[in-house]
Amino acid sequence: MNVVLTALVTSLAILVGVLTVTAWGIWFERKFSARLQSRLGPTMVGPVGLAQPLADLMKLLQKEDLVPEAADRAVFNLAPQIAALCALGAAAVVPFSAHIVGAKIDLGVLYLLAIGAVTVLPVFMAGWASNNKFALLGGMRALAQSLSYEVPLVLSAMVPVILAGSMDVSKIVEYQAAGSWIAIGPVWLGLPAFVLFLLAMLAESNRIPFDIPEAESELVAGITTEYSGMKFALFYLGEYVHTLVASAVAAALFLGGWDGPFAPGLHWMVLKTLALFTFVYWVRWSLLRFRSDQLMKMCWYWLVPISVALLLGAGAWVVL
């Protein structure tokens, strides 16, 4: 009973924590991008616009829920829910500190990668079920992109797994706390793997320069063209949570997770996650986007061979 209760409380705390951080992550992104563009960003709701996420939520809740006549209703309605669920589900195995973990499972990394692979499903569902050509093109691009970038993502995530000798995310962080962070030691192996993981992560969470599936200047809004109100909000939320959780995973796998001096582990974890989160949005608001064929070329010509080489290198490092 006690075990169940603890698990419930922990997962609820993580859920609430992730959602709260995401909501104000959106506020932060808006402020950050505004300063980048010499604008002010949200200022009207609350002090420095801090209540903006709540106002956005209220607005989206009040919107009419539109389903196109020709859409495949069941799939159309299911897609945003799966999108948000997948993104939140990944947060379960991220160790936010030595003790705050939703679920300590031995195959944490495998679970993360599996959940990450499923996130392409709602995107394709939405693209198909909307019965809209722009959404279809978006879904088609998303499918190709996510399947391609899955390969370097998995291979580069295997580097810390091989080095630490475990698929448990907590164990990988403990390994780094005992030795050095994987991103800096051995640096010739860890740093490229980290960069590859970041790139693949950007592509997986559809962020510029890889946001081709929802390229709004080309495909209107891509897969979300026909979505409105809370369904759109769920997609939006799923995307941000996905970025946040992916940042947390990158921090745990490569930057030593909760490991750091002077402060409790949670602080370090949050700091590293938010730094990566900021990096993602910094890139987003400064770069233009690739074309889909260029994206594929980059993946298969560069990222995949390099990640294979890194995997072999990691194996050699452990064996020798």
Partner 1 sequence: MLQTLQVERRVDPHLSIDRYDPEAELLLLHMGPQHPATHGVFRMDLYLDGEIVVKAVPYVGYLHRSVEKLCEKLTYSQVTPIVDKNDYVSPMTNEQAINMAFEKLLGIEVPRRARWMRLVFAELQRIASHLLWLGTFAMDLGGALGGGSTVFIHSFREREMIMDLFEEISGARFHYNTHTIGGNRHDIPAGWAGRVKHALDVIGARIGEYEAMSLHNRIFVQRTRGVGVIDSSLALELGLTGPMLRACGVDHDLRRDAPFHAYDEVPVNVAVAHGGDCLARAEVRFAELRESVRLVRATIDSIPEGSINGGKPIKLPNSIKIPAGQTYVGIETPRGELGTYVIADGSANPYRLKIRPPSLHALSALPYMLPGGTVSDALAILGSVDPIMGEADR
Question: Which residues of this chain interact with partner 1, rule CB under 8 A?
Answer: 33, 36-39, 133-134, 137, 140-141, 208-209, 211-212, 215-220, 284-294
Whole-number CA gyration radius for the chain: 20
Length reported for the chain: 320
Smaller CB separation from partner 1, 69 or 293: 293
Which residue, among 284, 281, 254, 280, has the nearest Cα to 269 in the 3D structure? 254
Smaller CB separation from partner 1, 121 or 220: 220
Which residue, among 317, 204, 123, has the nearest Cα to 196 in the 3D structure? 204
Which residue, among 125, 287, 286, 285, has the nearest Cα to 213 in the 3D structure? 125
To which residue do tokens 């198909």 refer? 128
Output the smallest distance, CB 195 to partner 1, in A.
Answer: 16
Whether the Cβ atoms of residue 223 and residue 146 lie closer than 8 Å to each other: no
Smaller CB separation from partner 1, 70 or 263: 70
Output the smallest distance, CB 293 to partner 1, in A.
Answer: 7
Output the smallest distance, CB 87 to partner 1, in A.
Answer: 18
CA 158, distance to chain mean position in Å, is: 18
Smaller CB separation from partner 1, 28 or 317: 28
CA 21, distance to chain mean position in Å, is: 13
Output the smallest distance, CB 247 to partner 1, in A.
Answer: 18
The single-letter code of the amino acid at 77 is N
Output the smallest distance, CB 145 to partner 1, in A.
Answer: 12
Smaller CB separation from partner 1, 6 or 37: 37
What H or E segment, with its residue span, contains residue 212? none
Output the smallest distance, CB 148 to partner 1, in A.
Answer: 15
Smaller CB separation from partner 1, 11 or 33: 33
Smaller CB separation from partner 1, 66 or 263: 66
Output the smallest distance, CB 212 to partner 1, in A.
Answer: 8
